[in-house]
Structure 1
Amino acid sequence: MLEEDLGEGVLRVTLNRPARLNAYNSTLCRDLRAAIDRYDRDDSARVMILTGAGRGFCAGGDVAGDDPEMARELAGQMGRAQNLKHDLHAVALDLMRLDKPVIAAVNGAAVAGGLTLALLADIRIAGESAKLGDTSGRVGLLPDEGGAWLFPRVIGFEAAFRMVAVSEVYDARRAQSLGLVSEVVPDVGLQERAVELARTLALRSPIAVRVAKRLMRDAMSSTFETALSEAALAVMFVNTGPDAQEGMRAFREHRPPRFGGQ
């Protein structure tokens, strides 16, 4: 795992198993969880970019790799369940619970569990050679890393079921049309564009960004009435806080706001 402080509130975390197309194993998942935790605790870091080293973002689980711990756990049915619970399931929960924003810069393949990992980011930008889809069914496996919950919520049931059942993988433009990514850029400009967007996002009020993200995440599994009640409570401390006051002053004074994070 590579962690880079890019300045201006931006942190880049790079999955670093390029020889395996960054397929996850137990070690990678533990390292990624530690990186997420450090990001969450660091008030100076306002936006995280998640990407992969080399030719791929993440090719899913390393079922053919040389990780003895993973091979042992995969040998039995209960081992498979425990492996998921302690590895990518734990990463998925960490990202879902994270209030700070995450941008996925999808380079190359993001398939199976790798697609799930990308979809756990709040914004996804793909390089033009990226490939996204679910390949689990090709070897008789399930989208068991969280994909069965995420896929239909992102692209709708029919498109998600087709992708999983037929084991389809899409090029970047098709993935964008489905809603798997929101932007496609030339490969050589992927990281630059991700950093540019991250720095723009880092200029916004951190408290407003975090609460807005949490409101929208929670609203995905609540009623409209509950969402309105949650928004009313959030407004009581966000819209009257120092950042909101600074934002209004800046608007009146025709200058960029200087948000302190409160």
Structure 2
Amino acid sequence: MTGFQQIVVDSPEPHVARIVLNRPQQMNAYSTQMCEELVEALEDYLRDDDKRCLILTGAGRGFCSGGDVSGADGEHAELMKTQLSHGREMRDGMHRVILALSRIDKPVIAMINGAAVAGGLTLALACDMRIASDQAKLGDTSGRFGLLPDEGGAWLFPRAMGLDRALKMTLLGEVYNATEAERLGLVTEVVPHAELEVRTFALARALAKKAPLAVRLAKNMMLRASDVSLERSLGDAALSVMVANPSADVREGVKAFFEKREPKFAGK
């Protein structure tokens, strides 16, 4: 895939895609252009059935430091001339990225190699799992600039760590080390920095080997279940079973079990 300037997209292993935020000098702070490129890359991943897991990470020392407030982005400065344009920039920028992530029914892993703060933390929390280096820092620094958790943090932070802890983090502008972030629920797993890529790719590889249809349906069921009643969730489960149980992948999984071998799932 070509044409991107602020992200790098590749497929380092079979069935595994990777998106790298590529503004290392700015600690991968997002710009209007980066958001546009991310939306396109995420939509490409969603449509590509050969790709079964996505790793999202940052180049250099950081994952993502939130929005670029340096003023270096001329387009951003132009957008900020009126109060209405602030909301428009957010809706047309990072809001589209977070919504694109929320619509993906395949696994997305955030490989947090460094700072993930403010909108960068929101971006990580919009992924399904977060594997963090023991050198990573996570938190919400928006209040230090008089800004808000407006990229989706007001929705995602309390769901990850509880309302009281989310308020404390945002209102005080707190940033945590990786171990504390894991304890608070912001991180799925912490590993030594030198092992971050190995561990993340091992997880991605394991997910890519699972039955694609079942993975997508299970993820969709769990995401929907958080916003519906138990009765509606059970109804969704019954409908999903009608799709998954008669599939060739289920027949392959049962056959492989009795033959004492690894199944070879094809997503059918």
> How much has 1:187 moved relative to structure 2?
1.1
Distance 2:75 2:94 in 1: 14
Equivalent residue runs for 1:36-115 within 5 Å: 36-115=42-121
Which of the residues 120, 144, 155 maps onto 1:149? 155
> How much has 1:77 moved relative to structure 2?
1.3
What is the TM-score with the length of structure 2 in the denominator? Answer: 0.96
> Does residue 198 of structure 2 align to residue 192 of structure 1?
yes
Distance 1:180 1:189 in 2: 20
Equivalent residue runs for 1:176-187 within 5 Å: 176-187=182-193
Contact preservation (8 Å) 1:99, 1:210: yes
CA RMSD of superposed structures (Å)? 0.8
> Does residue 35 of structure 2 align to residue 29 of structure 1?
yes
1:24 maps to amino acid = Y
Which of the residues 204, 209, 228 maps onto 2:215? 209
Distance 1:156 1:98 in 2: 24
2:94 maps to amino acid = L
2:116 maps to amino acid = A
Distance 1:241 1:92 in 2: 31
Equivalent residue runs for 1:211-226 within 5 Å: 211-226=217-232
1:77 maps to amino acid = Q
1:191 maps to amino acid = E
SS of residue in 2 equivalent to 1:232: helix
> How much has 1:11 moved relative to structure 2?
1.0
Distance 1:60 1:139 in 2: 12
SS of residue in 1 equivalent to 2:20: strand
Contact preservation (8 Å) 1:63, 1:71: no
Which of the residues 135, 144, 150 maps onto 2:141? 135
Unaligned runs of 5+ in 2: 1-6
Contact preservation (8 Å) 1:61, 1:113: yes
Partner of residue 253, structure 1: 259
Unaligned runs of 5+ in 1: none
In the TM superposition, structure 1's runs of 4+ consecutive aligned residues that sit over 4 Å from their partners are none
Partner of residue 242, structure 2: 236
SS of residue in 1 equivalent to 2:18: strand
Distance 1:192 1:36 in 2: 23
Distance 2:101 2:72 in 1: 27
Partner of residue 9, structure 1: 15
